[in-house]
Amino acid sequence: MREYLLTLCVTAAVTYLLTGPVRKFAIVAGAMPEIRARDVHREPTPRLGGIAMFGGLCAGLLVADHLVNLNGVFTLSNEPRALLSGAGLIWLIGVLDDKFEIDALIKLGGQMIAAGVMVMQGLEILWLPIPGIGTVSLTSWQSTLLTVALVVITINAVNFVDGLDGLAAGMVCIAAAAFFMYTYRLWYGYGIEAAAPATLFAAILMGMCLGFLPHNMHPARIFMGDSGSMMIGLVMAAAAISVTGQVDPDALNLNLGGVRNATHAMLPVFIPLLMPLTIIAIPMADLVLAIVRRTWNGQSPFAADRGHLHHRLLEIGHSQSRAVLIMYFWSALFAFGALAISVQSTSMWVVLAIVMLSAIGLVLLLLPRFKPHAPRWAERFVPPRYRRPRGEEATEATEDEAADEAVDESDEKPPIPAGVNGATAVGPRSRFPDRRKAGTTR
């Protein structure tokens, strides 16, 4: 565990330290596209954050290669090299897209090529554990088709949820944490050595996301762009493919006594394979609704609008930070719910806990105006926005909020030119009417 934690910390530190210089490079390189109609940020923000994340990935793999217990992952398996090859290719395509905005079909072709490169180096799904049937071996073309499909779907899923500050990195980090706990249990609990690469990939993925999040939380100073979102999607898919395609169910027969028990024990392997798909369940539903909505309104299905899920959360009253936290909650519920079921699949308490947490999530979703406050004794440890206003401070805070709202409304209105209906010209920064008009003087 200590070596995994060391790898995670090194990956996070390198990613964090590289993000600042990468931001300056992105500004100089002009990787700051204009704000589009569907964007929620107000100022042009540099992209290319994936450069720092790729540096963290390389650093994590390099450190793990020189550790005593993790070195066997590189000597006994070709999967780390396959991951680095596929990640490098998809990262290069993402960098070009962040700078030049290449065509969507070209990106799709690059994603398929990156997945094919990993398959050629042995990172593929070889069999599937199916309850009631046992282990089903896949033919060469079935294995290639399923592996490429899973990689492409996961990449685009992560890319699709990257719509708010810190959303994609946080959701992927949560899923990677749950996946790490599961694969670590397989490796050291059941003695399945083939689960070691997936455990390493999950630890590195957590480090990449944790190192980038401080720069990407609202208000974001830099975006990961397609160079980051597609790459972390590929790493997540590689971890799921590694543990599903390489762990031999026969190794569990010796510990669990029988094919049937081993099949049920391998069912959790099938669940983490679906874990990346749980991230795209809601985005895919949102995509289908968007196509129907645009077609019904006589627009092109590919026309951008502000009707996506994160836009709707903002429209009903949630702030950006609260919308991201809600998405975090549901991502954690899916990921750790699958983990809990894999550990205690027959426990009714797990099902009840998931149902209760789902109810809590629905309540939070339907209460956009709710503002949480910390207890009085804990106010010194939390940011000011979570403290309860007192007496005159509450009145001043209310007046300040009203003034801020008035300033925001005035920003949306264009200045009135001089000579129009007797209006007096004011500068773009002036927010007060000419008092001489009302007969008052300074």
Q: Output the pLDDT for position 40.
A: 57
Other beta carbons within 10 Å of 256: 17
392, pLDDT greater than 50: no
Least confident interval from 11-20, 222-231, 388-397:
388-397
Q: 146, 179 in Cβ contact below 8 A? A: no
The count of structural domains within the chain is 1
Residue 300 lies in a domain: no
- Mean pLDDT taken over the chain: 76
What are the C-alpha distances in Å from 208 to residues 10, 122, 216? 9, 24, 12
- Tens of pLDDT, residue by residue over 53-82, are 999 999 999 999 999 889 888 988 899 999
Q: Read off φ and ψ for residue 202, nearest 5 degrees.
A: -65, -40
pLDDT band at 324; cut points 50, 70, 90: confident
What single DSSP character describes residue 212?
A: H
Consult the annotation and say whether 226 binds a ligand.
Answer: yes
Q: Are 185 and 245 in contact (CB under 8 A)?
A: no
Kindly indicate the confidence band of residue 328, based on its pLDDT and cuts at 50, 70 and 90: confident
| Interatomic CA distance for residues 360 and 28, integer angstroms | 45
- Between CA 246 and CA 76 the distance in angstroms is 12
In terms of Cβ atoms closer than 10 Å to its own Cβ (0-12, 13-18, 19+), residue 200 is buried
Residue 358 lies in a domain: no
- What number of CA atoms fall less than 13 Å from residue 422's CA on the CB side? 3
Report, in angstroms and rounded to the nearest whole number, the Rg of the chain calculated over CA atoms: 25
Distances (CA, A) of 359 to 123, 314, 341, 354: 39, 21, 18, 9
> Both tokens of residue 42?
């107000």
Look at residue 313 and tell me if it is in a domain. Answer: no
**Tokens 């645009």 appear where?**
294
34-73 in b/e form (b: 16+ CB < 10 A) is eeeeeebeeeebbbbbbbbbbbbbebbbebbeebeebeeb
Provide the percentage of residues in the chain whose pLDDT is more than 90: 28
* pTM (2 d.p.): 0.76
Task: Specify the range with the lowest mean pLDDT, choosing from 85-99, 183-197, 251-265, 341-355.
Answer: 251-265
Within-domain flag for 106: yes
253 is an annotated ligand-binding site residue = no
Q: Measure the CA–CA gap between 194 and 400, rounded to whole angstroms.
A: 59
What pLDDT digit, counting tens, does each position of 362-381 carry?
A: 777 777 655 656 677 777 77
Interatomic CA distance for residues 184 and 272, integer angstroms: 13
pLDDT at 433: 43
CA distance 162 to 224: 9
Q: What is the SS3 assignment for 95?
A: helix
User: Does the residue 150 lie in any domain?
Assistant: yes
Does residue 55 sit in helix, strand or coil? helix
The predicted pLDDT at position 246 comes to: 62
Does some domain include residue 326? Answer: no
One DSSP character per residue, 146-202 reads HHHHHHHHHHHHHHHHTTSTTHHHHHHHHHHHHHHHHHHHHHHHS--GGGHHHHHHH
| Domain assignment of residue 162, yes or no | yes
Label residue 326 by pLDDT band (50, 70, 90): confident
Q: Is residue 368, in this structure, part of any structural domain at all? A: no
User: Is the CA virtual torsion 49, 50, 55, 61 positive or negative?
Assistant: positive
Q: Is the pLDDT of residue 427 over 70?
A: no
Write b or e for each residue in 218-239: b if 16 or more Cβ atoms lie within 10 A of its Cβ, otherwise e. Answer: bebebbbbbbbbbbbbbbbbbb
Structural domain for 157, as ranges: 2-278
pLDDT tens-place string over residues 114-138 = 999 999 998 988 877 665 666 678 8
Q: What is the pLDDT of residues 89-103, one digit of tens each?
A: 999 999 999 988 888
